[in-house]
Amino acid sequence: MQRDKFFKEIENLNHPNEKLIKTHCSYCGMQCGMNLRVNTQTNKIIGVEPRYDWPVTVGKMCPKGVTAYQQTNHKDRLLKPLIRDDASLKGTTKGFREASWDEAYDLIAKKFKELQTEYGKDSLSVFSGVSMTNEKCYLTGKFARVALATRYIDYNGRFCMSSAAGGFLRSFGVDRGSTLPWTDIHETDCLFIAGSNTAECHPTSMFRIWNVQERGGYIIVVDPRETPIARRADLHLDLQPGTDLALANGIVNQLIKMGYIDEEFINKHTNGFEETKELVKDFTPEYTSMLTGVAPEKIIRAAEIYGKAPNAVVMFARGVEQQHKGVDNVSAYTNMALVTGKIGRPKAGVATFTGQGNGQGGREHGQKSDLLPGYRKITNPKHVEEVCSVWGITPEEMPQPGVSAYEMIELMEKKTIRGLYLLCSNPAVSAPNLNFVRKAFKTLDFMVCSDFYLSESAEFADVVLPAVTWSEDEGTVTNIEGRIIKINKAQEPVGESKPDWQIQVELAERLGKGKYFSYLKTARDVADEFRLATKGGYADYYGATWDKIDKQDGVFWPCKNENDEGTPHMFLDKKFYHPDGKAKICALPYRPPAEEPCEKYPLRLTTGRVVYHYLSGNQTRRIPFLHDMCPEPFVEIHPETASKYNMEHEERVRLFTRRGEAIYKVKITEAIRKDTVFVPYHFGHEDSINLLTIAALDPISRMPEFKACAAQLEKVELKKVQ
Amino acid sequence: MKKRLYLELENCIGCRSCLAACTQCGGHEERNRNYVYDVNPLVNRQTMPLMCLHCENPACARSCPAQAIQIHETGAVLSALVEKCIGCQNCTIACPYGIPKFDQEQNLMYKCDLCIDRTKDGIPPMCASVCPSNTLQWLTDEEIENKKKQFNLDNGKWVTSMPYLEGETNVKVNLPGILQGITKLF
């Protein structure tokens, strides 16, 4: 299925005394296919072999993928539960002692019960993540609502994908990250890529992206930095961080003025065109240029290329989504596809580069404060009833909607939330405004953290539970395309580590909720209940059985029954998911970033990733090759700006905002705007750039504005650094 | 069908996946054997791999007084035989591209052997297998000929050859600039 010109029949090299386990990478949404090499005598993972027969990535892997296997038998793995009795040591690695699972479970059950007896059900919270299987994500939602009976559950997608979700829901009435399979990308005629450092964050997309140019097509890149993809793009729109909405409005205005719109498509299949046309008409190239810093002729040229292209794909990522108007940015760029009708057919559409491995599936099935499995709403009584019938509880027992990730942390600081069960996430590095966040974690009466390494967030926990890595469990993940794929188990769990679904079943039993969980004995048991729970929701996975996933090289949702092969292309019938079947073209007034530069803080700070690290770096900083390639953070500065501050390449300088400060090594490059500085966010403790970032939240997605705030630089005297 | 390593320098994104993969072929003692350079890091993000080109008449082998560097029947110029290498480092000086590396501790040279355990059986080397940008590809001569037609620059510079290189090489390299010769779709 979906085998294209890049696919070649290649046999793998089989070393003696080894077997290959087909699976996918543990990291980003690309979910590159890989084979793990397992020694058949020790039954341990010892290496990696390309998976040439995976149709999306045909054996290709980035350096994180190549070395991902080194996580499993790493010396830093947590082998036993850890308990810390002295709460004054919170925020450090000190004071932990090894304990048995029984002791850890007993302590957690006792503390959770005490807190809920004294302060009510909602005094507990669950903070989870989407770098884990659909089965785990699903069960985490059920665990919070049924075993803990708390309304407070949310997840790290709020720092990642939630603006894309909000934008797609508003524009299309459905949130599937890509309207088309990745095997279409190289066949389109124009890629418009905004706020995505694709070459570093989704490297295995690059062979398809470059192929567009090799065929004579165009690449347009929107980024404040001249990233590797921007360097080769036909057009680089070098905007100021946080001004995407103005740029998108400006381009839509040009598309209308230059006559590239598809009136028949607009009339038949969309609402909102006239209001939008009215609103964007103020966004002339000159006015848009004034707001964004992009030259007017580049804006006109971008509209001309995108407008002329027979087929085009609008793509974006965290650069546009991690803003306090991230949802508006997503809908505004999506407008480009809707006014030109370049959607609902092969080789044309809209896609977001999903950040986390299961960023797509993990947000659909009930880890979000207001969602239930199958993308159902917890505020919709019918949806609640459907899920209750699978869970065996009454609708009255279903908790109310909670609040978003960062807002949960605010409630911890206010002592409304007193207990936390954290899994699959490292918010002590990845959340914004970290001085506040770390203080909030210290304020908690009781915190449990489940992870396979002692993360910076685990340092705030009272109990740390050793979880397994992705290679020691099985289940499904939904990749960047919306394709449900299968992760396979390659070795037995290291030490006493356990998969999170098993931890939740056993913990639920201790909490007296065994009857809702005890029958889930294997990952497949969870998978079967999960598929049933999604049945009838619009993210319907019911027909995506593990056998079908294996046979078809993955299944695109929705997949409603046994005979349904899934939905690689969305909207081929031009039917969108709003009740009237139409998409919404959104009229979106521009607003600047929450914090604009001023005399005291004249620079724009933006953050992002490097190719060698993943998210908070808790995994990748421990891998020798990746550590060697990028051992520490840096601040990227244009030479003219550096000269103004009298700073040299590799000099250590102080970067600060209204919220925090850090010392970074200067990296001088002309490949960034003069008014902007960039720092990667993968580093912990005093190196975290999120000590400086702002927690201005998007009104819909509750996404913090990681991508733009006001900052200042200062030279430091040598003695201060030492 | 014989395949060759083919490099399209224009595509490199500097991810160094080729170096990570080099350590994983099972026969490389987990040491990577090639290079990726930042071309002009203070100015832009251009990068390029520098791989062993597996010369038809390799200077490294010619300079070796111990005949430790053998040429495989596939054309791959192998790493020095451990039992023959005397650690003189002639090869590291002789190679016009600076490819052979030297292990001070073991007093032995080591270099890219084109993952001979794989390529002798027609399996692509690790670097070309994983390269996310198709900078490194494993192609038949016919496919390389098609590339030559596709990227015709009318100046003979599409691929490294005399006089740009010291001599003929088994690995073919496409220099930056290939996109200049492409006719746009619209």
From B42, B45, B133, residue closest to A668, measured CB to CB: B42
Tell whether A214 and A339 lie within a shared domain: yes
Tell whether A49 and A116 lie within a shared domain: no
Put simply, the chain A residues between 302 and 321 with a CB less than 8 A from any chain B CB are 308-310
Residue B34, chain A, CB below 8 Å: the answer is no
| 8 Å CB contact of A48 and B118 | no
From B16, B47, B134, residue closest to A207, measured CB to CB: B134
| 8 Å CB contact of A213 and B182 | yes
From B15, B45, B178, residue closest to A226, measured CB to CB: B45
Distance CA A287, CA B174 (A): 43
Distance CA A39, CA A51 (A): 18
pLDDT tens across the length of chain B (186 residues): 789 999 999 999 999 999 999 998 877 777 889 999 999 999 999 999 999 999 999 999 999 999 999 999 999 999 999 999 999 999 999 999 999 999 999 999 999 999 999 999 999 999 999 999 999 999 999 998 888 777 765 555 555 555 667 788 999 888 777 787 788 999
Distance CA A498, CA A673 (A): 47
- Chain A contact set for B132 (CB, 8 A): 60-62, 203-207
Q: Phi/psi of residue B47, each to 5°?
A: -135, 160
- Chain A contact set for B129 (CB, 8 A): 50, 52, 59-60
- Is position A579 within any domain? no
Beta partners for A449? A422, A464
Residue B181 to residues A230, B7, B141: CA-CA distances in angstroms? 20, 17, 21
Distance in Å, alpha carbon of B12 to nearest chain A alpha carbon: 8
| 8 Å CB contact of A216 and B20 | no
Last residue of a domain, one of A521, A548, A567: A521
B1-50+114-185 maps to CATH 3.30.70.20: yes
By the 8 A CB rule, do A698 and A708 touch?
no
Residue A687, chain B, CB below 8 Å: the answer is no
- Is position A616 within any domain? yes
Closest alpha carbon to A121 in A410, A356, A344, A417: A417
| 8 Å CB contact of A206 and B24 | no
pLDDT for res B161: 57
CA-based nearest residue in chain B for residue A625? B20
Distance CA A473, CA A36 (A): 13
- Is position A537 within any domain? no
| 8 Å CB contact of B24 and A669 | no
From A66, A228, A671, residue closest to B130, measured CB to CB: A66
Q: What is the DSSP letter of A367?
A: -
Last residue of a domain, one of A331, A352, A373: A352
SS (H, E, C) A602-667: CEEEEEECCCCCCCCCCCHHHCHHHHHHCCCCEEEECHHHHHHCCCCCCCEEEEECCCCEEEEEEE
Domain with CATH 3.30.70.20 in chain B: 1-50+114-185, 54-110
In sequence order, which residues have a C-beta less than 8 Å from that of residue B37 and are 6 or more positions away? B47, B48, B49, B50
Tell whether A443 and A492 lie within a shared domain: yes
Tell whether A306 and A374 lie within a shared domain: no
| 8 Å CB contact of A611 and B184 | no
Distance CA B126, CA B1 (A): 19
From A15, A206, A310, residue closest to B133, measured CB to CB: A206
- Is position A89 within any domain? yes
Q: Which residues of chain A have pLDDT under 50?
A: 722
Residue B44, chain A, CB below 8 Å: the answer is yes
CA-based nearest residue in chain A for residue B15? A611
pLDDT for res A21: 98
Q: What is the DSSP letter of A178?
A: B
Last residue of a domain, one of A521, A537, A555: A521
- Is position A226 within any domain? yes
Which residue do the tokens 């609402």 mark?
A271
pLDDT for res B156: 58
Tell whether A397 and A481 lie within a shared domain: yes
- Suggest the residue from A18, A48, A61 to mutate for an interface test with chain B (most B CBs closer than 10 A): A61
Q: Got the DSSP string for A9-25?
A: --PPP--TTEEEEEEE-
Domain of A123, CATH number, reads 3.40.50.740
Give the β-pairing of A661-668 and A634-637: parallel
Distance CA B22, CA B45 (A): 23
- Chain A contact set for B26 (CB, 8 A): 13, 15, 47
Residue A52, chain B, CB below 8 Å: the answer is yes
- Suggest the residue from A185, A232, A667 to mutate for an interface test with chain B (most B CBs closer than 10 A): A232
Residue A90 to residues A55, A83, A93, A100, A428: CA-CA distances in angstroms? 47, 12, 8, 21, 12
Distance CA A481, CA A434 (A): 32
Tell whether A420 and A315 lie within a shared domain: no
Tokens standing for residue A552: 């078809």
Closest alpha carbon to A365 in A668, A92, A130: A130
Q: Got the DSSP string for A570-596?
A: S-TTS--SSTTS-EE---------SS-
- Count of CB pairs separated by less than 8 Å, A with B: 129
Beta strands in A69-209 (DSSP E): 82-84, 96-98, 124-128, 153-155, 190-194
CA-based nearest residue in chain A for residue B45? A228
- Suggest the residue from A27, A206, A226, A311 to mutate for an interface test with chain B (most B CBs closer than 10 A): A206
* CB-CB neighbours of A93 under 10 Å: 11
| 8 Å CB contact of A210 and B43 | no
From B24, B42, B130, residue closest to A59, measured CB to CB: B130
Q: Which CATH class is domain B54-110?
A: alpha beta
Residue B1, chain A, CB below 8 Å: the answer is no
Residue B181, chain A, CB below 8 Å: the answer is no
pLDDT for res B120: 94
Biggest alpha carbon–alpha carbon distance for chain A: 70
Tell whether A344 and A223 lie within a shared domain: yes
Distance CA A685, CA A230 (A): 32
pLDDT for res A720: 52
Tokens standing for residue A251: 């381009």
SS (H, E, C) B87-141: CCCHHHHHCCCCCCEEECCCCEEECCCCCHHHHCCCCCCHHHHHCCCCCEEEEEH
**H or E stretch covering A429:** helix A427-430
By the 8 A CB rule, do A196 and A315 touch?
yes
The ipTM assigned to this model is 0.96
Chain segment A683-720, per-residue pLDDT in tens: 999 999 999 999 999 999 999 999 999 999 999 976 55
- Suggest the residue from B130, B140, B182 to mutate for an interface test with chain A (most A CBs closer than 10 A): B130
Check: pTM over 0.90? Answer yes or no: yes
pLDDT for res B182: 85
Residue B150, chain A, CB below 8 Å: the answer is yes
- Domain extent at residue A371: 82-160+358-521
How far from chain centre, in Å, is Cα A474? 21
Q: What is the DSSP letter of B70?
A: -
Which residue do the tokens 């913090």 mark?
A704
| 8 Å CB contact of A669 and B42 | yes
Residue A65, chain B, CB below 8 Å: the answer is yes
- Is position A597 within any domain? no
Ramachandran quadrant class, A340 (left: phi over 0; alpha: psi -120 to 50; beta: rest):
alpha
Closest alpha carbon to A201 in A673, A633, A694, A607: A607
pLDDT for res A719: 54
- Is position A126 within any domain? yes
Tell whether A411 and A470 lie within a shared domain: yes
| 8 Å CB contact of A310 and B186 | yes
Q: What is the DSSP letter of A397?
A: G
| 8 Å CB contact of A611 and B16 | yes
Tell whether A263 and A237 lie within a shared domain: yes
CA-based nearest residue in chain B for residue A208? B133
Distance in Å, alpha carbon of B65 to nearest chain A alpha carbon: 34
Tell whether A259 and A154 lie within a shared domain: no
From A62, A612, A670, residue closest to B42, measured CB to CB: A670
From B24, B133, B186, residue closest to A66, measured CB to CB: B24
pLDDT for res B114: 95
From A48, A204, A639, residue closest to B132, measured CB to CB: A204
Q: Got the DSSP string for A37-102?
A: EEETTT--EEEEEE-TT-TTTTT---HHHHHGGGGTT-TT---S-EEE--GGGTTSSTTEEE--HH
By the 8 A CB rule, do B100 and B110 touch?
yes
- Is position A556 within any domain? no
pLDDT for res A451: 98
pLDDT for res B163: 64
- Count: domains in chain A: 4
**H or E stretch covering A222:** strand A218-222
